[in-house]
Amino acid sequence: MIPNEMRTCDTFRSVLVETLDVSRLRALHTFADCLAPNDVRLRFGTPRRLASDEEVLAAFRCQTPENEMIWALAPNGAIAGIATLSLVEPSTLELGVIVRSDMKRRGIGACLLEAAKRRARRRGIRSLLASILWDNRPMRTLIAKAGFVATGPVGLLCEYELALSERIAPPQNGRHRQIV
């Protein structure tokens, strides 16, 4: 029998988003419209409006070269989840994840964490960090399962880190360059 997680990763493609065009911005808005306010708070640490182009672009930090996004795409092309990777030191990325509120608990978050780890290894990154609100038990459970260790509380946040030892080669097939 195929494990659930594999089935999910087969169903939802993880794609590295390097540039945003109009149709991708529209897809981001559709995704933002499907987020419950509490999920937005858990992701960004505070309530946040995600209505205008500016608000959506700023939330997902799409316009700075230090940031990358990995999208989990449903078979119909809709965004099911987003992992954001922000370069905070030369070899350290900070990770943020959010899954569409009506698509949670299908393994999408776990797939995005695996894709983020692969992407970081391909970039030769040595350390992945995440800051998670104390009351965010789902994410704290998920990130511990992915191998991150708690490095300590900072105020209302719990800090997590994953040390990455080996670099991995980029995918060979040019046709799938964007698949993480």
Ligand X SMILES: CC(C)(COP(=O)(O)OP(=O)(O)OC[C@H]1O[C@@H](n2cnc3c(N)ncnc32)[C@H](O)[C@@H]1OP(=O)(O)O)[C@@H](O)C(=O)NCCC(=O)NCCS
Which parts of this chain interact with ligand X (CB under 6 A)? 39, 42-43, 96-99, 104-110, 130, 132, 136-139, 141-142, 145
Number of H helices, E strands in the chain: 6, 7
Beta carbon of residue 15, minimum distance to ligand X (angstroms, whole number): 16
> In this structure, are residues 126 and 92 in contact, taking their beta carbons and an 8 Å threshold?
yes
How far lies 163's CA from each of 108, 112, 169, 171, in Å?
A: 22, 17, 18, 22
In the complex with ligand X, the residue whose CB is nearer, 48 or 104, is 104
With tokens 């569409």, the residue in question is 100
Beta carbon of residue 2, minimum distance to ligand X (angstroms, whole number): 14
In the complex with ligand X, the residue whose CB is nearer, 36 or 167, is 36
Beta carbon of residue 100, minimum distance to ligand X (angstroms, whole number): 8
* Residues found in the chain: 180
In the complex with ligand X, the residue whose CB is nearer, 109 or 125, is 109
In the complex with ligand X, the residue whose CB is nearer, 108 or 115, is 108
Name the residue number minimizing CB distance to ligand X. 109
Gap between the Cα atoms of 119 and 112, Å rounded: 10
In the complex with ligand X, the residue whose CB is nearer, 39 or 161, is 39
Beta carbon of residue 110, minimum distance to ligand X (angstroms, whole number): 3
How far lies 15's CA from each of 28, 72, 128, 141, in Å?
A: 14, 6, 19, 24
Beta carbon of residue 40, minimum distance to ligand X (angstroms, whole number): 8
> In this structure, are residues 115 and 14 in contact, taking their beta carbons and an 8 Å threshold?
yes
Gap between the Cα atoms of 115 and 13, Å rounded: 10
